[in-house]
Amino acid sequence: MRIATWNINGLRARLDFIKIWLQERDPDIVGLQELKMTDDIFPHDELAELGYHAITHGQKAWNGVAILSKHPVEAVHVGLPGQEDQGARFLAGRTADLTFATVYCPNGKNITHEDYPQKLQWFDALISFIESNHSVDESLVLCGDFNIVPTPLDSWSEQKLGGGIFHTDQERARFQSLLDWGFHDLHREYAPEDPGYSWWDYRGGAFHKKQGLRIDVLLGTPSVRERLQSVRADRDYRKKKDGLTASDHAPVFADLT
């Protein structure tokens, strides 16, 4: 089974690009973030032609998450309770033999912005929700754009960026709380020393300069970790394809037995 996460930075702008990726990489389950569209215009029919069922939690022009699956998928949690003001950022479903959740975590902008404490509160709500509604004994995947660089290894320059947004002790403590609950960071389990960057700024030639961050993550409970075969940040799909512009995020996928 191949599971994946991808911040697509606008589904309407990226649909043809995504369809190329789906056909070439053939994932079984995908968590998408930053749809930037409402549920009523989600392209269910076009994705069904490629063999994918979909559930969505959309929002006009901003945010929005979806789960695509080759298997029937049933929504079990739509939205993060108490965090509705932060937009459409959380969706969980049951599909195949997994509970699969996708998140588009708040950015926070910078550490002096009012969005930063709201970001930390959103993570506190996420952690509380997981603790109250899920068990470490279930086969649970939590994936998405976390907008946190978990460790210095995951940043192209901790020296320049450390202490700034995505790199703060407070953000990293929230990420660690998810691991302490029982999640495994699948990329880090598979490749302990590989930075595995998944996002590069569009500006300044960051991709070609290898100035990336690993902020797109697949987390799994122990039963998922036991099935892990490989993980890959799909850098090839951070490049243009057939004249189509890529997202600023690469897809990240893991192969399970």
**Catalytic annotation present for 145:** yes
Domain boundaries, the chain: 2-256
* pLDDT, tens digit, 9 for 90 and up, residues 219-253: 999 999 999 999 999 999 999 999 999 999 999 99
Q: Which CATH number fits domain 2-256: 3.40.50.2030, 1.10.150.20, 2.10.50.10, 3.60.10.10?
A: 3.60.10.10
Given 52, 104, 116, 190, the catalytic residue: 104
- Mean of pLDDT values over 105-115: 98
The span from the CA of 3 to the CA of 13, in Å, is 23
Given 28, 52, 116, 145, the catalytic residue: 145
* pLDDT, tens digit, 9 for 90 and up, residues 37-85: 999 999 999 999 999 999 999 999 999 999 999 999 999 999 999 999 9
**Catalytic annotation present for 104:** yes
The answer, as to whether pTM is greater than 0.85, is: yes
